[in-house]
Structure 1
């Protein structure tokens, strides 16, 4: 009986935990975006003409603002305004450093031409003999390239788990990385699930006797 209760408890947690976390994240996103309504004059607030507060109205407003700015920035006049705004921010000492760094990262991650994570790799981290998932981000550049030739070294990002937004940027020799036959999305899922969700559909870790060394296949 105790074993059955334990199985039911675990089964219930497996069903509810992802659902609860998903709903919590969605609630946080909607609540945050709903604050966008505060920029509207009091007479234009949806509560005034609907008679009640409707969750999600701020999401629609935020989406409309983003689409409007995107449409404006896509034509010649808007592009010139964006260039003028960019040049203005570049002249402000402290703001210039923050804005330039954030813009470079956002251009890499969000631009259609961007290629932040180019390929999933297997690297030895944090020491030799221990392997983890990493992502190719490019090759050493600038003054670093004088000491680490780009033809010999790769720039890689080693994410932490289960939160891949934190991690380490390292430059490793090409011979020390193993390219993986999985997409970046599959590799991210593998990292976030801490190895529980394996690309290819199988779930759960391999038994120790079935584990093979990287590159032995």
Structure 2
């Protein structure tokens, strides 16, 4: 009797925990985005009643309109001058440039980063882990190293947003025949969810 109760309880947990965490993360993200909307643009101020999600819709509209404006010549020119101004402020320059490079790399549709999952020996020989190709390092970094090298990102488990950047000899990587999404699921699940394509 106790074993059956335990079995059903664990089965229920496996169903609810991912759902609750997903909803919690989405709620947190929406709350952060809504916090950027000034109070005078709230639905209460504009219409006299509270409309759930109104501020979030405003945030998405502002982001979409910004993208629309930045897609033309005038918008690109304004953006270029804006980045020049930010590039002259010492502390802001470092933070902005780092975040911009990371977001351009990850969010750009033309980016080739995180497009391929591979196996590498890490942290020592005969221990294998999944890594993601992120590019090819510049020749100036590889002076004196024989062979062809690639840059890889080794995510940690169960939080793949932290990890290690490595430069590895191309001969020492094994390409995997799975998608990046499935490889990430395998990493996050600590090897429990099989990476089947």
Report the aligned-residue RMSD. Answer: 1.8
Tell me which residue corresponds to 1:158. Answer: 154
Q: Which residues in structure 2 correspond to 1:3-42 (within 5 Å)?
A: 3-37=3-37, 39-40=38-39, 42=40
User: Which residue of 79, 83, 99 maps to 1:82?
Assistant: 79
Tell me the distance in 1 between the aligned counterparts of 2:118 and 2:51: 46
> Is the contact made by 2:121 and 2:129 (CA closer than 8 Å) also made in structure 1?
yes
**2:168 paired residue among 153, 172, 175:** 172
Note the alpha carbon deviations across 1:92-134, whole angstroms, 9 max, x for none: 2332222222221111111121122131100111111211100
Q: Deviations over 1:126-159 (max 9, x none)?
A: 111211100111122153121335x521111000
Instruction: Tell me the SS of whatever aligns to 1:80.
Output: helix
User: Which of these residues, 74, 93, 97, is aligned with residue 94 of structure 2?
Assistant: 97
Task: Give the paired residue count.
Answer: 197
Aligned in 2, Cα 1:36/1:98: closer, same or farther, shift over 3 Å? closer
Matched ranges for 1:54-69 at <5 A: 54-69=51-66
Aligned CA distance change for structure 1 residues 49 and 79 (closer, same or farther; 3 Å)? closer
TM-score, normalization by structure 2: 0.91
Provide the rounded CA distance (Å) in 2 between the counterparts of 1:186 and 1:86: 36
TM score, norm. by length of structure 1: 0.84
